[in-house]
Amino acid sequence: MEWMEIPPQRPDIASQVWSERKMPRLDSTKVVDTFISAATIWAPSGFEKPMADKMMRDFEEMNIPGANVMMDGAGPAAGSEVGNVIVDIPASPNAPPTARSVVLSCHLDRVPVRAPGVPQDEPVQVEMTADGTLQSKGFRTNIAADDRAGYTAIKEGLQAMHLSGFPHGHIKVIGYVREEPGLFGARALDPAHLQDMDFGFEFDGGKVGNVIVNSAGIQRFKATIIGQSAPAIHASKGKSALRAAMDAGTRIDGAEMKPGQTLNVSNIMAGQMGQDGAPITNQVPDSAFLAGEFRARNPDDELELRKHVESCLQQVAEQHGVEIRPEFDTIQGFHLSEQAPVVQLAEIATRASGSKPKVMGMMGGTNANCMNAKGLPTVVLGSGAYLQHTEREHTSRNDLIRATQVVMSVIAAAASPAVTAALLATSEIAPAI
């Protein structure tokens, strides 16, 4: 991960976000309680119903006039028991006509990490230490700060703004399902939900203040290899799919990587097991399966890696006389200019919230990849989750408060006439993406 700090370009604008009305004060006990109530919900990818129910209940209980809390129909396509949760909140009656519309999003699934020996039905227990760190009691499970911290910031930030009567533009909150295994909820989202919205902000992981403006394109590949079976004593009469797969794996993995590229072969499977559970060794395997993925920060490098994988598979097919059926699954990367209005807005809001913006790129995929691909300029904002996907995962009361203040500042900045005028000036000189 490389990052670069944005110089303080227009501190005057950031200082205007809260100049007319003060930032609502947060009740830190309530913020921590919201986090713990979400963090203790066990909702792994595909089984998000308890968390989706909580989100719908939380937002219905806010009683925001005109708000519509619904679940979309993306569940089956996303491979989840529920769809994405979408909360549509109209602009407040006191909003200036120039107020921009924003999507605030997070993901509802969690990685199901348990320390060795911890039973599957043991509830998650979150404890807060004297210094305000929130962690698993006894480090027995992860606490899903990824992405309950993002959920908490959005829910508490929006509620505080609503209760204070702060003017806001049109807001959509989206809780996506099945993010972790491959952004499936966001991929399955009907792009119509993002139409007419100006800017997207995905709150997910990382340090508060991080503004992720570009993310690698990711391609997963899998290949089925069909050879010819033969008894081991006449092995030369067969065409070993396993040998072809190993050769393909070695060739693909052997590529030299440039900075901003990654590639790995993750799976090779072949051969048969007998009914007694022992491997059948007297036979040349006639089918094999190979899988892996590559990532590249720029599209030319991505194309180069795609060609490398394809040509390795083709050479192996020719030299081993086997048939290879490759399949590629692509998640588009995104590359926002530092001058893009969404990036400027993120930077201004982060500064206005009292945190220091750091503009970064990343190799990992997030829901922002899909939102950008569907036409909504979207950045990822850090929501204060550390050592994600491990039982040592943690966040803190301070991080949750700061992330919530970023959410409130995004809402306030998008409604601020001074900020929208500055964004308009920016967008005249630079395209959005």
Whether 114 and 390 have beta carbons less than 8 Å apart is answered as: no
Pairs from 390-393 (Cβ < 8 Å, separation ≥ 24): 390/113, 390/142, 391/113, 391/114, 391/115, 391/136, 391/139, 391/140, 391/141, 391/142, 392/135, 392/136, 392/139, 393/113, 393/135, 393/136, 393/142, 393/143, 393/144, 393/145, 393/146
Applying CB under 5 A, which part among 27-35, 77-85, 200-208, 258-266 lies near Zn ion? 200-208
Burial class (CB in 10 A: 0-12, 13-18, 19+), 281: exposed
Residue with Cβ nearer Zn ion (111 or 226): 111
Residue with Cβ nearer Zn ion (166 or 203): 203
Applying the rule CB under 5 A, the residues between 136 and 165 that interact with Zn ion are 146-147
Least gap, CB of 331 to Zn ion (angstroms): 15
Least gap, CB of 205 to Zn ion (angstroms): 5
Q: Establish if 204 lies at the interface with Zn ion (CB under 5 A).
A: yes
Q: How far is CA 233 from CA 65, 270, 286, 418, in A?
A: 78, 19, 15, 81
Enumerate the β-bridge partners of residue 385. 206
Residue with Cβ nearer Zn ion (32 or 368): 368
Whether 380 and 235 have beta carbons less than 8 Å apart is answered as: no
Residue with Cβ nearer Zn ion (170 or 295): 295
Counted residue by residue, the chain has a size of: 433
Applying the rule CB under 5 A, the residues between 325 and 364 that interact with Zn ion are none
Residue with Cβ nearer Zn ion (175 or 205): 205
Least gap, CB of 151 to Zn ion (angstroms): 10
Least gap, CB of 47 to Zn ion (angstroms): 16
Measured in degrees and rounded to the nearest 5, phi and psi for residue 337 equal -70, 150
Least gap, CB of 310 to Zn ion (angstroms): 31
Enumerate the β-bridge partners of residue 264. 293
Least gap, CB of 50 to Zn ion (angstroms): 18
- Amino acid at site 15: S
Applying CB under 5 A, which part among 32-40, 169-177, 198-206, 370-378 lies near Zn ion? 198-206
Least gap, CB of 111 to Zn ion (angstroms): 8
Q: Establish if 247 lies at the interface with Zn ion (CB under 5 A).
A: no
Tokens of 312: 């390795």
Q: How far is CA 188 from CA 59, 77, 83, in A?
A: 23, 6, 9
Least gap, CB of 165 to Zn ion (angstroms): 32
Residue with Cβ nearer Zn ion (110 or 402): 110
Residue with Cβ nearer Zn ion (308 or 394): 394
Least gap, CB of 368 to Zn ion (angstroms): 11
Q: Establish if 202 lies at the interface with Zn ion (CB under 5 A).
A: no
Residue with Cβ nearer Zn ion (105 or 261): 105
Q: How many residues bind Zn ion (CB under 5 A)?
A: 4
- Under 8 Å CB-to-CB from 147, ≥6 apart: which residues? 106, 107, 108, 110, 179, 203, 204, 205, 383, 385
* Distance, CA of 93 to CA of 433 (rounded, Å): 31
Residue with Cβ nearer Zn ion (383 or 404): 383
| Interaction site with Zn ion (CB under 5 A) | 146-147, 204-205
